[in-house]
Amino acid sequence: MTAQPRVVRLRCGMRAVLAPCEAESVAFGVFVKSGSRHETARTAGISHFIEHMLFKGTPSRRAYDITCAIEGRGGNFNAFTGEEQTCFFAHLPSECLGTAVEILGDMYQNALISPDEFEREKGVIIEEIRMYQDEPDSVAAENLQRALFPGHPLGAPVAGTEASLRPMTPGMVKSYMRSHYRPSATCVVVAGAFDEGEALRLLEAAFAPCGRAGGRVRRAAADPGSPLARPPVPETRVEKEVAQVQLALGYRTFGVGDSRRYAATVLDAVLGSGMASRLFQSVRERRGLSYDISSRLQFFSDAGQFTVSAGLERAKAARALATVDRELERVCRSKVPRAELERAKTYLIGNFRLAHEKVLSKMIYHGSAMTTFGRIVPTQEQVDGVRAVTADDVLGVARAIFRPENRALSLVVPK
């Protein structure tokens, strides 16, 4: 029987999750409470910038040395930045845990922020931003989030903008890291095949310097208040050289700590997850209005968003939007039939179980749970939460979410 994951407090004050399971590999991740919502207009995009800079070498390792140490053992490593966290991770054969811990620990604590490399990477990120600006679905999604949370960092693009990045300096990045890259705001996760005693020894050795850092830690920037304080912008429309209309329809929701999150997750599955969902059947299969349409539910600590996305022929866009609105009205008007409800719950549970066969998915799941909830969330708790959802729960949460005052529409249309 696989041991249950547990949380250990390292001597430096950092929390560590040990999640052993049967596998031939091990995944190691470092999760930091640093994302776009922790930034100001002046520092917009700095968390994502730091994600890039951590791969540029340390005093003892060149960037090329880091790459060869991981990839040379058949592994892979990467990172991602979101609204509320940044994660760095490596996935390697099980005997290589020491390599992953040593290298990511070095990157986390000793990243070189050299002026030359800094300016070079700034140009790379600006090109990344421009790449996304050429993708109509990315533009529609970014504009939608800005419309749902106007004037709040939660609505700002994670990568920042050219205007915020160009004046950024190495000193600003170092100052931000001193404020946010702290043991109290960081957790590390080991998942896969490993010896727990050896893993703890490696973690203590790699992150011990974190607890010995001198000087006073600067206070992080104050949160600007609730992202729900201002009403959404009802509609945004951008003209681009595109062949289709890209539609992103969104509704603001409650945060991840709300007890209705499981009902909202089932609601999302009923409406837009998979080819059996209502939106796919109604918009594509019965009316042929779009090649693909789906919904997505995303939670933050104190807010969230339900999004419907589709690419549409211009002549069909109005009809498709009307069809989507009718489906949202229908789910608010009457209960989801028993068979459909059970199908949606079975789909969610099965999808969740399949994802957790992957060591990397386990690691990210536990790290995100620690960053969000401050505790391990047992997988059975998630399964039980979905199973307990009733048709009344889905009806109630649909009526709470799909209200005019929660709505925003983002369109990218052909010139």
In a domain, 229, yes or no: no
Which pLDDT does position 225 carry in this prediction? Answer: 81
Please write the tens of the pLDDT for every residue from 166-188: 999 999 999 999 999 999 999 99
Residue type, 315: A
In a domain, 309, yes or no: yes
* C-alpha separations of 93 from 228, 246, 359 in Å: 45, 42, 11
C-alpha to C-alpha distance for 299 and 291, rounded to whole angstroms:
27
Full domain range(s) for residue 89 = 6-212
C-alpha to C-alpha distance for 224 and 175, rounded to whole angstroms:
20
Same structural domain for residues 240 and 183?
no
CB atoms under 10 Å from CB of 59, counted, come to 8
Same structural domain for residues 193 and 276?
no
Whether the Cβ atoms of residue 233 and residue 36 lie closer than 8 Å to each other: no
DSSP 161: -
> In degrees to the nearest 10, what's the CA dihedral of 99, 103, 106, 108?
-120
Same structural domain for residues 309 and 384?
yes
CB atoms under 10 Å from CB of 356, counted, come to 15
In a domain, 228, yes or no: no
Q: Would the pLDDT of 129 be above 90?
A: yes
Residues 6+ positions from 297 with CB-CB distance below 8 Å? 253, 264, 265, 267, 268, 304, 305, 306, 307
Beta-bridge mates of residue 311 = 246
In a domain, 49, yes or no: yes
Same structural domain for residues 202 and 243?
no
Tell me the average pLDDT across 110-135: 94
* C-alpha separations of 266 from 63, 91, 383, 395 in Å: 44, 31, 12, 11
Mean pLDDT of the chain: 94
Which pLDDT does position 214 carry in this prediction? Answer: 39
Strand runs labelled E in 52-181: 76-81, 86-93
In a domain, 303, yes or no: yes
Which of 176, 181, 161, 178 shows the shortest CA–CA distance to 44? 161
Same structural domain for residues 385 and 247?
yes
Same structural domain for residues 183 and 245?
no
User: Which tokens sit at 350?
Assistant: 């099965």
In a domain, 378, yes or no: yes
Please write the tens of the pLDDT for every residue from 21-74: 999 999 999 999 999 999 999 999 999 999 999 999 999 999 999 999 999 999
Same structural domain for residues 196 and 240?
no
Please write the tens of the pLDDT for every residue from 233-262: 999 999 999 999 999 999 999 999 999 999
Beta-bridge mates of residue 239 = 413
Which pLDDT does position 210 carry in this prediction? Answer: 83
Q: Would the pLDDT of 330 be above 50?
A: yes
Same structural domain for residues 249 and 208?
no
Same structural domain for residues 21 and 105?
yes
Among 51, 83, 142, 327, the one annotated catalytic: 51
Which of 115, 235, 103 shows the shortest CA–CA distance to 168? 115
Same structural domain for residues 308 and 381?
yes
Which CATH number do you get for residue 54? Answer: 3.30.830.10
Q: Would the pLDDT of 407 be above 60?
A: yes
Beta-bridge mates of residue 309 = 248, 294
Instruction: Please provide the size of the chain in residues.
Output: 415
Same structural domain for residues 324 and 393?
yes
Same structural domain for residues 245 and 192?
no
In a domain, 40, yes or no: yes
C-alpha to C-alpha distance for 136 and 105, rounded to whole angstroms:
38
**What is the share, in percent, of the chain residues with pLDDT greater than 70?**
96
In a domain, 348, yes or no: yes
Tell me the average pLDDT across 331-358: 95
User: Which tokens sit at 168?
Assistant: 């950024």
Query: Structural domain tally of the chain?
Result: 2
Q: Is 51 a catalytic residue?
A: yes
